[in-house]
Amino acid sequence: MTQVYFDNAATTPMRDEVIEKMTEVMRQYYGNASSTHGLGRSAKSLIETSRKTIASFFNVHASEIVFTAGGTEADNLVLRSAVRDLGVTTIITSKLEHHAVLHTVEQLQKEYNISVKYVKLLKHGVVDLQDLEGLLQTSDQTLVSLMHINNEIGNTLDLQKVAVLCKAHQALFHSDTVQSVSHYQLNLQSIPVDFIAASAHKFHGPKGVGFAFIRKGSGIKASIFGGEQERGYRAGTEAIHNIVGMETALKLSYENLEAERKQISELKAYFIEQLKNLSPDITFNGNCENAENSTYTVINVCLPIAPEKGGMLHFQLDLKGIACSKGSACQSGSNQNSHVLSEILTADYLMKPSVRFSFSRFNTQAEVDYVISVLKDFI
């Protein structure tokens, strides 16, 4: 059976070079990085080299990169400490954020009775920056948490504008950049964001590892206690093979960024063209049809299929060997509508099936043609 993987926003296949490097590390560098003997020092050296390499891609200090188990932990580390340790009493966010942010903010509201404000959304789910500026008119210690790339509809946020706005109002700015790290160059010396989160498995690296950028002097403190690993931010023996795997994956992504962006962008444009040819009643959710205002890796499409038939669409696609999502992968086991689409679509469109297709360097035009042929038969 033909197998087509168009769910790269959920996770990506690992590059061969990453697997080879991780295997080498597991075989040769098995010492505990906290040990003072030779094997421990060698392991520690690998970790710090990875930290310096990753920091260099964002033009930040190595000490500002904290390794975590992934983007969710990085988001939790920053948000919880901001409230617990930095005196944040108001969080401004949007209802389109990843649940790693939304659910954490909801829990912090229960625990600390903080104020949570949701910025208004314009057409297609675009964040209303004028409303954000209005919400920032407060004397409360405030943190803004807005994602750079929406994982479901691909909308992009102008990080520079939001960061400057937050700085002008003495607010902290945290951004979940899980979908943008490796796909976009982020110079964090010129973008005054305070915190970002990233996850290796989104850019052809291993699962179970990511990092937080925590700007020097922010005052963020640990959420996991024990040893002094990660300069006290995160206790626990480091998974050296995962960290080196993440470094390798990120390095390869940025070395090949322009060529791969061109390849994937052309593939997305071709997919959109074929979908439009398939049916004039197909619509695109969010800004994903607009190359200027969305990422080049995601399409979210609403298909003109009756609800009683649409309920079987994802099952039928899976039977045909096509891997994709009805929303974020974190919700794929739920019968509820996507919280993102529920915010931006009318009831009529919510009744129709929406599908997210997300791309990587490994996808081809032939795979797009196959998906179109399957959709044509189904529609």
Say if residue 204 is in the same domain as residue 352. Answer: no
Evaluate if residue 333 carries a pLDDT over 50: no
Say if residue 163 is in the same domain as residue 71. Answer: yes
Say if residue 187 is in the same domain as residue 305. Answer: no
Evaluate if residue 282 carries a pLDDT over 90: yes
Tokens representing residue 370 in the block? 């196959």
Own/partner long-range contacts of 169-172 (Cβ < 8 Å, ≥24 apart): 169/133, 169/136, 169/137, 169/142, 170/142, 171/92, 171/136, 171/142, 171/143, 171/144, 172/82, 172/86, 172/88, 172/142, 172/143, 172/144, 172/218
User: What CATH number does the domain containing 205 carry?
Assistant: 3.40.640.10
Evaluate if residue 183 carries a pLDDT over 60: yes
Give the predicted TM-score (pTM) of the model: 0.95
Tally of CB atoms within 10 A around 226: 10
Average pLDDT across the chain, whole number: 95
Say if residue 212 is in the same domain as residue 287. Answer: no
Distance (Å, rounded) from C-alpha 117 to C-alpha 100?
17
302 an active-site residue? no
**Predicted pLDDT of residue 220:** 95
Say if residue 187 is in the same domain as residue 77. Answer: yes
How much of the chain, in percent, has pLDDT values that exceed 90?
90
Among residues 255, 290, 315, the one where a domain terminates is 255
**Predicted pLDDT of residue 309:** 85
User: What CATH number does the domain containing 272 carry?
Assistant: 3.90.1150.10
Say if residue 333 is in the same domain as residue 353. Answer: yes
Say if residue 272 is in the same domain as residue 232. Answer: no
Tokens representing residue 118 in the block? 């949701």
Q: 135-153 as b/e, with b when 16 or more CB fall inside 10 Å?
A: bbeeebbbbbbbbbbbbbb
Distance (Å, rounded) from C-alpha 285 to C-alpha 346?
11
**Predicted pLDDT of residue 327:** 57
Band the pLDDT of 335: cuts 50, 70, 90: low
Q: How many domains does the chain have?
A: 2
- Amino acid found at 108: L
CA dihedral (343, 344, 349, 350) in degrees, to 10, reads -20
Mean pLDDT of 342-357: 94
Among residues 255, 281, 313, the one where a domain terminates is 255
Mean pLDDT of 242-263: 98
Evaluate if residue 44 carries a pLDDT over 70: yes
Among 105, 189, 202, which Cα is nearest to 145's? 105
Backbone angles phi, psi at 64, to 5 degrees: -90, 0
Among 234, 114, 96, which Cα is nearest to 105's? 114
Tokens representing residue 22 in the block? 């991780």
pLDDT tens digits for 136-150? 999 999 999 999 999
Helix, strand, or coil (residue 190): coil
At residue 163's C-alpha, the angle toward residues 110 and 117, to 5°, is 30
Evaluate if residue 1 carries a pLDDT over 80: no
Evaluate if residue 62 carries a pLDDT over 70: yes
pLDDT tens digits for 20-33? 999 999 999 999 99
Domain range enclosing 339:
4-12+256-378
Say if residue 97 is in the same domain as residue 189. Answer: yes
Mean pLDDT of 172-201: 98
Of 235 and 200, the one with more pLDDT: 200
Say if residue 228 is in the same domain as residue 160. Answer: yes
Of 330 and 66, the one with more pLDDT: 66
Q: Which residues contact 304 (CB under 8 A, 6 or more apart)?
A: 279, 281, 282, 352, 379
Among residues 231, 255, 279, the one where a domain terminates is 255
**Predicted pLDDT of residue 379:** 83
Say if residue 159 is in the same domain as residue 270. Answer: no
pLDDT tens digits for 103-114? 999 999 999 999
**Predicted pLDDT of residue 336:** 66
Matching residue, tokens 């043609």: 369
Say if residue 249 is in the same domain as residue 306. Answer: no
Distance (Å, rounded) from C-alpha 47 to C-alpha 33?
8
CB 275 within 8 A of CB 332: no
Of 311 and 48, the one with more pLDDT: 48
Among candidate residues 166, 302, 324, 330, the one labeled active-site is: 330
Tokens representing residue 53 in the block? 């390499």
Say if residue 236 is in the same domain as residue 311. Answer: no
